[in-house]
């Protein structure tokens, strides 16, 4: 293999999820128009250059990470709720009761930055050894600028999503770079080994990193702190659920007196109790039997 797999924007969510299960990644070309990236850039402009550079080699000493995108950019909310990506998450993470937003950030790799260390994103969960067939994350890196090898396009190690090799076991020549045009997206699992690459150009490489995860794990970016309550009240219910105002796995994350977390924002406009739709999920029979016998 000399280059990574690219597919057109018309590819179905089911086929994209199959790519993730088989290969651990796929690049979707031109999934959103450049005009959306223009809007996001305009809205985030006050924050991008004021974000601090990193303090170690892993997060990059010449790399800026700008978070809280739900609160700071309405156009980013459109990106986060892209129907194709949410369809992939529904399929790929469908073994869990729910999925949620893991983190949002713009990663700006500046000229002169060196290669980031190879890593797996799911190691954020305290290096917990998830089984090969249990996927905890569905991740995206959107090309906010053009994404060339010289600018530091993300390095990916094809095949590294399977097996127990450590990221440090892979050599640089096993990496392929995810070159793509602005508005395209690298979709990848938490298991595949990857990293930011050295920026040998004179241009800042920007990627919008939006990751999703199963609902029962802790989010990497604390959305309840990143999205102030006054902003949360302006969001639609679907986005509120995505950022964490839902039960993560049955009763996980309930509000106050065993209530639906949406009641924290919507009050009595939301009925007392939980989302009954979860009782029709994969674990419905076992769970229904369990709660019946625990009354």
Contact (Cβ atoms closer than 8 angstroms) between residue 215 and residue 100 = yes
Instruction: For the chain, list the domains and their CATH numbers.
Output: 6-214 (2.60.120.620), 227-293 (no CATH)
What is the spatial distance between Cα 42 and Cα 21, in angstroms, rounded to a whole number?
36
**Token pair in block for residue 277:** 């739709």
Q: Does the reported pTM lie above 0.85?
A: yes
Please report which residue ranges of the chain form alpha helices under DSSP H. 13-23, 34-48, 69-72, 74-80, 83-92, 223-226, 229-232, 237-243, 263-266, 284-293
Of residues 28, 192, 47, 194, the one with CA closest to residue 117: 194
- Per DSSP, 220 falls in state S
User: Looking up tokens 């007392």, which residue turns up?
Assistant: 272
pLDDT digits (tens), the chain, 295 positions: 578 999 999 999 999 999 999 999 999 999 999 999 999 999 999 999 999 999 998 999 999 999 999 999 999 999 999 999 999 999 999 999 999 999 999 999 999 999 999 999 999 999 999 999 999 999 999 999 999 999 999 999 999 999 889 999 999 999 999 999 999 999 999 999 999 999 999 999 999 999 999 999 999 999 999 999 999 999 999 999 999 999 998 788 999 988 999 999 999 888 876 655 554 554 444 444 444 444 4
Distances (CA, A) of 242 to 82, 90, 105: 12, 12, 16
């Amino acid at each position: 293999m000399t280059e990574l797999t690219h597919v057109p924007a018309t590819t179905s969510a089911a086929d994209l999820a199959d790519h993730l299960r088989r290969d651990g990644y796929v690049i979707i070309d031109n999934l959103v128009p450049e005009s959306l990236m223009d809007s996001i850039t305009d809205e985030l402009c006050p924050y991008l250059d004021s974000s601090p550079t990193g303090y170690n080699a892993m997060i990059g000493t010449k790399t800026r990470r700008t978070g809280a995108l739900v609160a700071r950019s309405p156009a980013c909310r459109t990106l986060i709720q892209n129907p194709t990506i949410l369809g992939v998450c529904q399929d790929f993470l469908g073994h869990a009761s729910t999925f949620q937003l893991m983190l949002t950030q713009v990663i700006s790799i500046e000229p002169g930055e060196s290669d980031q260390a190879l890593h797996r994103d799911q190691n954020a969960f305290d290096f917990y050894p998830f089984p090969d067939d249990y996927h905890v994350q569905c991740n995206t890196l959107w090309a906010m600028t053009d994404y060339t090898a010289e600018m530091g396009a993300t390095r990916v190690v094809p095949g590294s999503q399977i097996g127990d090799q450590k990221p440090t076991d892979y050599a640089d020549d096993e990496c392929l770079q995810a070159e793509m045009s602005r508005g395209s997206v690298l979709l990848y699992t938490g298991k595949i080994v990857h990293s930011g690459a050295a920026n040998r150009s004179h241009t800042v490489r920007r990627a919008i990193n939006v990751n999703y995860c199963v609902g029962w794990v802790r989010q990497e970016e604390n959305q309840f702190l990143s999205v102030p309550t006054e902003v949360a009240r302006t969001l639609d219910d679907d986005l509120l659920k995505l950022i964490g105002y839902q039960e993560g796995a049955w009763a996980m994350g309930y509000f106050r007196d065993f209530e639906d977390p949406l009641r924290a924002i919507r009050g009595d406009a939301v009925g007392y109790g939980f989302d009954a739709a979860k009782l029709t999920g994969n674990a419905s029979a076992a769970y229904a039997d369990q709660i019946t016998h625990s009354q």
